[in-house]
Chain A
């Protein structure tokens, strides 16, 4: 089974702190994604990456950055956490974009619930 592991299930941080959310996948997937999930809203894409050292902005990149130094690892960074970044953060991976349905199926991590006080 493909596994996507997020380092922290629950975090509580203070406004202005730097926050690192780590995500590791073990199936050699090309694509990795960071979403945030808030009640009443669909999943919103923050950043994604199609390859090592490559990153693309999603719909809501402001206040976030990412790092992908190795294929299996995709990190989300909040340089200076704010209360409006309190949310559930979901990491996901997929094999390849385009064409085949199987390649576009996302496998998600269990999520990291971040509270910023």
Chain B
């Protein structure tokens, strides 16, 4: 079956760096997405990776290794507003999205 694994919850300190990991086993691969979802709100798009390597976008970076079935989202200079759930999703060979359960990130002052 298809599976996306990510930690359920992580805690970090304001101003620090945190890395949220995502591992996947899917039928084919056409890209990996990260979305951010604040409590009670809609998920919003953060990043897309289809080739191996690091994509940087301001304080957020996303890394992909297709051979390892692995991605991470790196958040730098954490702010209180980064407290949210982070969803990893993989586009499979049929261009269907397979979603992880999400990682709840708690930022402490």
Contact = CB atoms under 8 A, between A and B. Distances in A.
Interface residues of B, number: 25
Contacts, number: 52
B7 interface: no
Interface stretch (A12-20, A41-49, A65-73, A77-85): A41-49
Contact of A97 (B40, B41, B50, B95): B95
B48 A111 contact: no
A112 B41 CA distance: 10
B48 A108 contact: no
Contact of B95 (A98, A107, A109, A110): A98
Interface of B: 4, 8, 30-31, 33, 35, 40-45, 48, 50, 87, 89, 91, 95-102
Given A97-B95, A101-B50, A104-B95, A41 B101 contact: yes
Contact of A101 (B48, B89, B96): B48
A114 interface: no
B42 A108 contact: yes
Contact of A110 (B30, B42, B98): B42
A91 to B, nearest CB: 9
